[in-house]
């Protein structure tokens, strides 16, 4: 799994001037450390993250992570199927919100 692309966060770019500590933790701990651990492939981490965000109803973060998942090799078809599957485990309204976000992200 060491062949995977290095995962890089955008915390400093997005909110470093407003919340430097949260930006630092996002970039240096979450992405630099956790996302780059070799025990799981970035593709698997992306699917897990998308599932957690769908289940939590976190559509703003989902917007970023759907694109990130595609960059990590997850196809649009797989992401749509994951969201469809989650409708029965995370709840229909959350899946409907997530699929609307996915439609917007994929058609952009």
Q: How far apart are CA 17 and CA 88, in angstroms?
A: 40
Q: How far apart are CA 94 and CA 59, in angstroms?
A: 9
pLDDT at residue 104 is higher than 60: yes
Stretch 19-45: mean pLDDT: 92
Query: Could you give the domains of the chain?
Result: 1-39 (no CATH), 41-108 (1.20.1290.10)
Which helix (H) or strand (E) is 29 found in, with range?
A: none
Q: Which of 72, 64, 27, 24 lies closest to 45 in space, CA to CA?
A: 72
The residue ranking higher by pLDDT, 13 or 40, is 40
Residue with tokens 């240096």: 28
pLDDT at residue 8 is higher than 80: no
Q: pLDDT tens across 63-93, in order? A: 999 999 999 999 999 999 999 999 999 999 9
């Amino acid at each position: 799994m060491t062949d995977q692309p290095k995962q890089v966060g955008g915390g400093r770019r997005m909110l470093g001037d407003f919340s430097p500590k949260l930006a630092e933790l996002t970039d240096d701990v979450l992405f630099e450390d956790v996302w780059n651990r070799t025990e799981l492939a970035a593709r698997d981490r992306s699917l897990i993250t998308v599932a957690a965000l769908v289940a939590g109803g976190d559509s703003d973060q989902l917007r970023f992570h759907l694109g990130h998942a595609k960059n990590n090799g997850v196809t649009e078809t797989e992401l749509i199927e994951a969201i469809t599957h989650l409708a029965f485990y995370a709840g229909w309204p959350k899946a409907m919100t997530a699929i609307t976000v996915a439609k917007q992200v994929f058609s952009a």
